[in-house]
Amino acid sequence: MIGRAATVVGLIALVSAPFVAPPYQLTLLLPAFAYGIALLGLNLLFGTTGLLSFGHALFLALGAYTAAWLTSRVGVRSLEVIVLAAALVGATVAVPVGLLCVRYVKIYFGMLTLAFGMLFYSFLYKFYTLTGGDEGIRVLRPTLLGAPFADLDKVAFLTGPFYYYALALLAAAALIMRRIVRSPLGLSLRAIRENPDKAGFVGVSVRRYRFYAFVIAAVFGAVGGALLAVPTGLADPLLAYWTHSGNLVFMLLLGGFQNFLGPVVGALVFIVLQDQVMSLTAYWRFVFGGLLAVVVIFFPGGLLGLGRPRERSA
């Protein structure tokens, strides 16, 4: 009940933010919305299924490059088409990658996803004609529901129509993911997380269901990536770099992977905190490293797990 009330209050605050918050603060929220979508997917893989990917940035980069290609090289500006194309590209790449990765679990799964992420990073970096190399590819301003909003400057576009578009997409993604988590597939995935051997003996096709979770997570990651690229206006290889995947895991832990909205809260807090700390010191990574250690040691349930009783590892 408290959770539902907090969600409603949070949503009202985000909807009314453009009327009260300065544009700079609003532009900070845009990547948080995009990460929120990607993390909902990543948490289906980690929080629900028990597979920790260290290469999920691969799919955000795929989404961002899909947006870049479509807007800069194909001339497609419709964000609806871009989002659908990103989802399709994410799913297409996730099929072979997932088929290989879900054969393994624990650290082997994590390392394999990391390897694929870095492979894609190298591809983006080296195949200059296709990807723009280290310079990346520009992401041009998309149309939203067919409207170009040509009369708005960039900031007005981002903090006005695009802000609500991204927020609506995040809300839709959360509703879809909520449905998935509460579906028979969600229950089967939780069973796999808890005890894969037992799950197999009650008829759960463990590897196949892990694969489904992987593909769904990839689709959410690619959609998040497409949305992430619009405010920055650029898709570059660093989106696929392993530290970006590490940030995603950090956001999950920060918000609390055991809570459905933990990833979204983690993304919001991470982005705002990163901005604040970066404005104070050049050693922001040092501060974030310390913060990550504190979260893991003292608050393993993350921000949304603060009220819960603490669980120790065996």
Contact footprint for another protein (CB under 8 A)? 179-180, 182-188, 190-191, 194-195, 197-206, 208-209, 212, 216
Cβ proximity to another protein: between 189 and 228 the closer is 189
Cβ proximity to another protein: between 77 and 178 the closer is 178
Q: What is residue 234's three-state secondary structure?
A: strand
Q: What is the DSSP letter of 303?
A: G
Minimum distance from residue 44 beta carbon to another protein (Å): 10
In angstroms, the CA 39 to CA 48 distance is: 12
Residue 218's CB is within 10 A of a number of other CB atoms, namely: 31
Cβ proximity to another protein: between 206 and 248 the closer is 206
Minimum distance from residue 113 beta carbon to another protein (Å): 21
Cβ proximity to another protein: between 132 and 186 the closer is 186
Cβ proximity to another protein: between 31 and 196 the closer is 196
DSSP 155-219: HHHIIIIIHHHHHHHHHHHHHHHHHHHTSHHHHHHHHHHH-HHHHHHTT--HHHHHHHHHHHHHH
Minimum distance from residue 215 beta carbon to another protein (Å): 10
Cβ proximity to another protein: between 196 and 225 the closer is 196
In angstroms, the CA 266 to CA 263 distance is: 5
HEC profile of 40-80: HHHHHHHHHCCCCCCCCHHHHHHHHHHHHHHHHHHCCCEHH
Cβ proximity to another protein: between 154 and 182 the closer is 182
Minimum distance from residue 208 beta carbon to another protein (Å): 7
Q: Residue 206: which residues within 8 A CB-CB, separation 6 or more?
A: 192, 196, 199, 200
Residues facing 143 on adjacent strands: 78
Return left, alpha or beta for 50; rule: phi > 0 is left, psi -120 to 50 is alpha, else beta: left
Minimum distance from residue 296 beta carbon to another protein (Å): 20
Query: β-pairing, 234-235 with 137-138?
Result: antiparallel
Of 257, 228, 255, the residue nearest 53 (C-alpha): 257
Inter-CA distances, 229 with 259, 264, 305, Å: 27, 18, 31
Cβ proximity to another protein: between 146 and 203 the closer is 203
Minimum distance from residue 254 beta carbon to another protein (Å): 22
Minimum distance from residue 210 beta carbon to another protein (Å): 11
Minimum distance from residue 209 beta carbon to another protein (Å): 6
Structure tokens given for 176: 């879809």
